[in-house]
Amino acid sequence: MTTQRITILLCTFNGAAHLDAQLRSYLAQTHQSWDLWVSDDGSTDDTDAILERFRRDHSTGRAIRILKGPQQGGTVNFLSLMCHPDLPPGPIALSDQDDVWMPEKLSRALAAIAQAGDVVLYGAQSLHTDHALRVSGKSVPMPRPPSFGNALVQNIVSGHSAVLSAGALQLVRRAGVPSGVPYHDWWLYQLIIAAGGAVVIDNAAVLYYRQHGANAIGANRGFRACIGRITMVIGRHYGVWLAANIAALTNAENLLSQSSQAVLADLRIHPRRFGIRRVLAFARGDLLRQSWGATVLLYLAVLFGRA
């Protein structure tokens, strides 16, 4: 039986401090049938030199391609890379520049995807570390299963662990690069589950998630993270993010299931403003965050026109 080939999609920006360790972790994978596409978003450190050296030393038997990114931030960089016209079909694994993958990461993801269907998004857990990879904690699996109602108000698929089946990648490419969505991993969760695809969350840790001052998003745990989530939901940005995601899904509505289309239509009929009608639209669509406390906070934000 032929081993399935997978393409790793790595986005970089001034990642020289930790990039070597991540690249070496690809070489240590038990699943060795992989290619690598990199989109660099205008690095000014030694990132380019590290990538070129890796391509020179490890391109035998695999394709390693390094592209210039659009320089519009990480979300656009990842989505543009997924939608690149020359990207080969097949499953893909997304990669941040400063993590370190455990050896079984790709093999676990591909095994899970093979059992889940044709259009599948896989996510997993991570061990949190300091800059020197000393473990300080770990991610915790969410209590509720994935759902469209959850995806509209919360992301539970970490981008650095995400793996997409060939069918899921095809769906993303048909939707194109949406304008204004805040996070690429949140968009993937929304789009794939809205289209009737499967979202599989592995409870096992598959990578070391390095925490440092340059993280785009830090680990979602602890008291400070809790306060940050509360501030986010009641602040101004969260409602803008929800609106951008709903607009992007509406633009891709021909790809979505009828039930997802109905939820979006109800939300559009009752736009964001002070009052109970928007709250009722959220309730009809089963829009729920992963904890009851966070869901109550969400509905208060909706009532007062914040979401």
Give the pLDDT of residue 231. Answer: 62
Give the pLDDT of residue 111. Answer: 97
Burial class (CB in 10 A: 0-12, 13-18, 19+), 197: buried
Q: Are residues 234 and 189 in the same domain?
A: no
Q: Which of 210, 242, 271 is the last residue of a domain?
A: 210
Is 51 contained in some domain? yes
Give the pLDDT of residue 273. Answer: 81
pLDDT 10s digits, 192-236: 999 999 999 999 999 999 986 554 555 555 555 555 555 655 667
**Band (18; pLDDT cuts 50, 70, 90):** very high
Average model confidence (pLDDT) across the chain: 93
**Any idea what the CATH number is for the domain that residue 114 is in?**
3.90.550.10
Provide mean pLDDT across the span 231-251.
Answer: 86
Q: Are residues 250 and 103 in the same domain?
A: no
Q: How far apart are CA 234 and CA 124, in angstroms?
A: 28
Give the pLDDT of residue 178. Answer: 97
Q: Are residues 228 and 188 in the same domain?
A: no
**Band (265; pLDDT cuts 50, 70, 90):** very high
pLDDT at 97 exceeding the cut of 50: yes
Give the pLDDT of residue 272. Answer: 83
pLDDT at 28 exceeding the cut of 70: yes
Q: Which of 146, 176, 210 is the last residue of a domain?
A: 210
pLDDT 10s digits, 164-188: 999 999 999 999 999 999 999 999 9
Answer for the pair 305, 276: CB distance below 8 angstroms, yes or no: no
Is 58 contained in some domain? yes
Q: Are residues 21 and 95 in the same domain?
A: yes
Q: Which residues pair with 93 in a beta bridge?
A: 8, 163
**Low-confidence winner among 67-71, 103-107, 258-262, 275-279 (lowest mean pLDDT):** 275-279
Structural domain containing residue 166: 6-210
Provide mean pLDDT across the span 277-287.
Answer: 96
Is 216 contained in some domain? no
**Nearest 10 degrees: CA dihedral of 119, 142, 77, 63?**
-60
Q: Are residues 182 and 231 in the same domain?
A: no
- Please state, as a whole number, how many other Cβ atoms lie within 10 Å of the Cβ of residue 296: 11
Q: Are residues 148 and 195 in the same domain?
A: yes
Is 170 contained in some domain? yes
Q: Are residues 183 and 249 in the same domain?
A: no
Q: Are residues 265 and 194 in the same domain?
A: no
Give the pLDDT of residue 136. Answer: 94
